[in-house]
């Protein structure tokens, strides 16, 4: 484990060595360790064995979750090579798999996402943890649910009767009222996540895709589910996972009195508009992230997938900036995400982007030639990604490392080489590609039937250094 590491590579480098040489040596070390790990286990970046309960991974089915042990191995390699790293940031945090993995190292963790449901899950996964109080709340909660005979429906939104059968809406309302009675905010958040998964499983939405898509009427009529039973079942299971996760972190000295020993901060924000920076100076030592592959609408609809659960949650419990505006339409979160707005693209920025990235220029031209009118969609995403990179480069320290996991996608029958484009964009901002490896995607459920999103079976892990 990292917490027990004895001597780092950097400590072996003589003191008088120059800064530039120092980082070149660290680069070499990273390359050699990545090569060694790949040689020892060809499956290491794909899907190594791990205990899913340790990372609270089954808590809510958030789309495109990363494999925590892959992230942990990568972080471990970089931290062992550079002992000066004290914090990490993930600007596309999702359900905080990377943060959960990073917490085993004890460094400070910062995570941002534009989706309030991601923020909720991340806050629960990263603590504070109230194991005993939760156990106590569980029995009180079950009692309160049983005692509630009210038929009042707690939510009202367009599509309520389309997405929920009346009995399910009544049961969910009783669960909502019982959760509201819990005083402790952290425990309420835990319960909101359990409710989210219950909503996902009991709504009339198909669970086979991330896009909202109602089941056929006959199937809806024949489904006889109990939201209360599902909630109780998932609560009991998740409590066990929660205990395993906290015990694991405690064993390695990373949790004390129910809280992570390092600093952990989660923020609901659009990484395109600016990244939280607690100081005016560049602040972050390491970035580890897996961004979307394209606009949500045609890749993974994280927002639509979160829309129904979010309707039932008291949004201020997630974050003070989580307002009903996020639920203006079923597509609002997706619209706010990278590449979500395709109208009125900034032509000056587009021209500069075409100059910066020859790969993007060729791709853009090829899409125009298909006459499918999809060039704006691709341009909007890459423009947003580029803008996010500008923000990221402002808050990253000199010689900090970045670990990106990204895959290519298809639009109008053409491959969009995201990895190559990302490399060119980062290099244009003074980043250097240190090394790269490929990983197979096994668990990511993608909308494979759609010809535009087909064949996303591999992704690249790219390690960069911001040149000092």
Ligand X SMILES: C[S@@+](CC[C@H](N)C(=O)[O-])C[C@H]1O[C@@H](n2cnc3c(N)ncnc32)[C@H](O)[C@@H]1O
**Smallest distance from ligand X to CB 110, Å:** 13
**Smallest distance from ligand X to CB 412, Å:** 22
Which residue in the set 81, 88, 114, 367 belongs to the binding site for ligand X (CB under 6 A)? 114
Q: Decide: helix, strand or coil at residue 288.
A: strand
The window from 94-102, 204-212, 230-238, 346-354 that contacts ligand X (CB under 6 A) reads 94-102
> Does 322 participate in binding ligand X (rule CB under 6 A)?
no
Q: Are 303 and 145 in contact (CB under 8 A)?
A: no
**Smallest distance from ligand X to CB 258, Å:** 24
> Does 407 participate in binding ligand X (rule CB under 6 A)?
no
**Smallest distance from ligand X to CB 3, Å:** 23
The Cβ of residue 20 has, within 10 Å, a number of other Cβ atoms equal to: 11
How many chain residues touch ligand X (CB under 6 A)? 23
Distance of CA 238 to the CA centre of its chain: 19
Which residue in the set 92, 210, 381, 393 belongs to the binding site for ligand X (CB under 6 A)? 92
The first and second tokens of residue 349, run together, are 């920025």
> Does 193 participate in binding ligand X (rule CB under 6 A)?
no
Give strand pairing partners of 56. Answer: none
The first and second tokens of residue 52, run together, are 């899913």
Which residue in the set 80, 290, 298, 402 belongs to the binding site for ligand X (CB under 6 A)? 290
> Does 95 participate in binding ligand X (rule CB under 6 A)?
yes
> Does 453 participate in binding ligand X (rule CB under 6 A)?
no
Give strand pairing partners of 409. Answer: 416
> Does 98 participate in binding ligand X (rule CB under 6 A)?
yes
- How far is residue 303 from each of residues 179, 381, 452, measured CA to CA in Å? 24, 16, 19
The Cβ of residue 162 has, within 10 Å, a number of other Cβ atoms equal to: 12
With vertex at residue 250, the alpha carbon angle to CA 244 and CA 255, rounded to the nearest 5 degrees, is 115
> Does 105 participate in binding ligand X (rule CB under 6 A)?
no
Site for ligand X, residues 21 to 80, rule: CB under 6 A:
62, 64-66
> Does 298 participate in binding ligand X (rule CB under 6 A)?
no
Closest among 183, 62, 197 to 134, alpha carbons compared: 183
Q: Are 317 and 192 in contact (CB under 8 A)?
A: yes
> Does 337 participate in binding ligand X (rule CB under 6 A)?
yes
Question: Which CB atom, from 359 or from 391, has the smaller least distance to ligand X?
Answer: 391
The window from 214-222, 270-278, 307-315, 450-458 that contacts ligand X (CB under 6 A) reads 270-278
> Does 112 participate in binding ligand X (rule CB under 6 A)?
yes
First to last CA, the chain: 30
> Does 113 participate in binding ligand X (rule CB under 6 A)?
yes
- Reported as half-sphere exposure (CB side, CA atoms, 13 A), residue 458 has a value of 10
Integer Cα distance of 303 and 300 in angstroms? 9
**Smallest distance from ligand X to CB 149, Å:** 38
Question: Which CB atom, from 65 or from 249, has the smaller least distance to ligand X?
Answer: 65
Asked whether the bond before 258 is cis by omega within 30 degrees of 0, the reply is: no
> Contact positions toward ligand X, by CB under 6 A?
62, 64-66, 92, 94-95, 97-98, 112-115, 118, 270-272, 290-292, 302, 337-338
């Amino acid at each position: 484990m990292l917490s027990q590491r004895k001597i780092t590579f950097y400590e072996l480098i003589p003191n008088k060595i120059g800064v530039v040489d120092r980082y070149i040596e660290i680069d070499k070390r990273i390359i050699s360790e990545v090569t060694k790990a790949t040689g020892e286990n060809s499956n290491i970046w794909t899907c190594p064995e791990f205990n899913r309960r340790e990372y609270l991974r089954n808590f809510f089915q958030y789309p495109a979750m990363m494999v925590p042990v892959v992230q942990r191995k990568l972080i471990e390699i970089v931290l062992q090579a550079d002992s000066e790293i004290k914090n990490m940031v993930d600007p596309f945090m999702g359900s905080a798999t990377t943060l959960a993995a990073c917490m085993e190292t004890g460094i400070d963790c910062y995570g941002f996402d534009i989706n309030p449901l991601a923020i909720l899950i991340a806050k629960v996964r990263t603590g504070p943890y109230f194991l005993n109080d939760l156990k106590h709340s569980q029995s009180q909660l079950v009692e309160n649910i049983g005692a509630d005979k009210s038929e009042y429906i707690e939510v009202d939104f367009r599509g309520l009767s389309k997405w929920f059968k009346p009995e399910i809406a009544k049961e969910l309302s009783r669960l909502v009222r019982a959760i509201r009675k819990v005083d402790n905010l952290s425990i309420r958040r835990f319960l909101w996540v359990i409710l989210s998964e219950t909503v996902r499983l009991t709504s009339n939405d198909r669970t086979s895709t991330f896009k909202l898509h109602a089941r056929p009427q006959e199937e809806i009529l024949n489904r006889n589910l109990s939201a209360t039973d599902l909630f109780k079942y998932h609560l009991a299971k998740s409590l066990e996972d929660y205990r395993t996760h906290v015990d694991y972190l405690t064993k390695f000295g990373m949790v004390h009195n129910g809280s992570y020993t390092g600093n952990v901060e989660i923020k609901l924000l659009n990484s395109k508009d600016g990244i939280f920076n607690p100081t005016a100076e560049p602040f972050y030592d390491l970035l580890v992230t897996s961004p979307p592959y394209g606009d949500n609408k045609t890749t993974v609809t994280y927002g639509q997938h979160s829309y129904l659960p979010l309707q039932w949650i008291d949004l201020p419990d997630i974050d003070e900036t989580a307002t009903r505006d996020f639920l203006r339409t079923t597509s609002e979160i997706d619209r706010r995400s990278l590449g979500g707005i395709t109208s009125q693209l900034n032509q000056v920025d587009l021209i500069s982007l075409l100059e910066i990235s020859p790969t993007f220029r060729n791709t853009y031209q090829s899409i125009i030639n298909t006459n499918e009118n999809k060039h704006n969609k691709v341009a909007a995403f890459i423009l947003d990604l580029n803008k996010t990179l500008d923000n990221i480069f402002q808050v990253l320290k000199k010689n900090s490392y970045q670990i990106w996991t990204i895959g290519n996608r298809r639009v109008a029958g053409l491959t969009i080489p995201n990895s190559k484009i990302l490399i060119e964009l980062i290099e244009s901002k003074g980043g250097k590609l240190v090394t790269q490896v490929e990983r197979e995607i096994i668990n990511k459920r993608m909308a494979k039937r759609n010809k535009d999103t087909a064949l996303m079976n591999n992704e690249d892990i790219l390690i960069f250094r911001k040149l000092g």
